[in-house]
């Protein structure tokens, strides 16, 4: 997958209450980059359950060719665990631009999971820049990624 083409890439985004502030700022940032974005909630800092939002994002990514997802919770752990339960999803919990680069180049990650209590917005912006500018390397990594999905049959 390659998310460098703004016209062809839809970004689904979601968070729980802990990730709400980061989701809002990230939506604004991604819009400024002229990507198409669909915000699947939550809509406030009122406590909610992170799986509800991670599942929504993961399902939309799964059914939309060329799409990717970004999910936030406090640590990024809950949303990444949840998103990875959806067949076809490769969610990567990242805390550095290097994590993101490798998640795209080697794992062809299609969902980026971030911790709003872990990363600052400046760090998040750098990770998002790498996410959108780094294509999958393919080659031997394609075979490895396919082996992941043999587990769930897709």
Residues forming the active site: 73, 106
Residue 27 CB, shortest distance to ligand RB5, in Å, is 18
3-state secondary structure 22-90: HHHHHHHHHHHCCCEEEECCCCCCCCCCHHHHHHHHHHHHHHCCCCEEEEEECCCHHHHHHHCCCCCCC
Q: Using DSSP, how many helices (H) and how many strands (E) does the chain show?
A: 6, 5
Candidate segments 67-75, 92-100, 125-133, 138-146, binder of ligand RB5 by CB under 6 A: 67-75
Scanning residues 42 to 61, which ones bind ligand RB5 (CB under 6 A)? 50
Cβ–Cβ < 8 Å for 154, 125: no
Under rule CB under 6 A, residue 18 binds ligand RB5? yes
Nearer to ligand RB5, 12 or 53 (CB): 53
Q: What track of x and - describes contact with ligand RB5 for positions 83 through 102 (by CB under 6 A)? A: --------------------
Candidate segments 23-31, 37-45, 70-78, 145-153, binder of ligand RB5 by CB under 6 A: 70-78
Per-residue burial over 85-111, b if 16 or more Cβ lie within 10 Å, else e, is: ebeebbbbbbeebebbbbbbbebbbbb
Candidate segments 29-37, 71-79, 103-111, 138-146, binder of ligand RB5 by CB under 6 A: 71-79
Q: Which residue lies nearest ligand RB5, judged by its C-beta?
A: 78
Q: Measure the N-to-C terminal CA separation of the chain; round to a whole number of Å.
A: 16
Contacting ligand RB5 (CB under 6 A), which of 13, 74, 100, 109? 74
C-alpha dihedral, 44 to 47 to 52 to 56, nearest 10°: 10
Q: Binding residues for ligand RB5, how many (CB under 6 A)?
A: 8
What residues line the site for ligand RB5 (CB under 6 A)? 16, 18, 50, 73-75, 77-78
């Amino acid at each position: 997958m390659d998310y460098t083409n703004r016209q062809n890439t839809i970004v689904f985004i979601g968070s729980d209450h802990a990730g709400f502030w980061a989701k809002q700022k990230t939506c604004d940032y991604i819009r400024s980059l002229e990507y198409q974005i669909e915000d699947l909630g939550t809509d406030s800092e009122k406590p909610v359950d992170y799986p509800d939002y991670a599942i929504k994002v993961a399902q939309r990514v799964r059914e939309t060719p060329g799409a990717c997802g970004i999910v936030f919770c406090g640590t990024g752990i809950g949303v990444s665990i949840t998103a990875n339960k959806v067949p076809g999803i490769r969610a990567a919990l990242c805390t550095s631009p290097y994590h993101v680069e490798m998640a795209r180049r080697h794992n062809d990650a299609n969902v980026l999971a971030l911790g709003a209590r872990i990363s600052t917005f400046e760090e998040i912006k750098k990770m998002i820049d790498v996410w959108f500018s780094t294509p999958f390397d393919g080659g031997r990594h394609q075979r490895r990624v396919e082996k992941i999905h043999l587990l769930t049959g897709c």
